[in-house]
Amino acid sequence: MKACYMGIDIGSITVKVVLLDERKRLIASRYVPSKGRPREALADALRSLHEEVDLDAVQAMGLTGSGGGPIADQFGAPHVN
């Protein structure tokens, strides 16, 4: 798979993940209710995405949302809220 880019939104109710190609076209996405457990919801979304696409192709990622800060720190990725 060619290079792709990941955007993650970790809100208070849902976790959303998108993968874009180099031309900013949507490759895949997930929308998962967090049920008060955003880290687990993110892990579920990433596992599900990995069944569809090769996540090793991710060249960069960014996070947003109220719960994105701590996870961005873990990934070493930027966070904008």
Q: Are 7 and 31 in contact (CB under 8 A)?
A: no
Give the whole-angstrom CA distance, residue 80 versus residue 66: 9
For 25-43, the pLDDT digits (tens) are 999 999 999 999 999 999 9
**pLDDT score for 1:** 66
For 47-63, the pLDDT digits (tens) are 999 999 999 999 999 99
Task: Say if residue 15 is exposed, middle or buried (CB neighbours under 10 Å; 0-12, 13-18, 19+).
Answer: buried
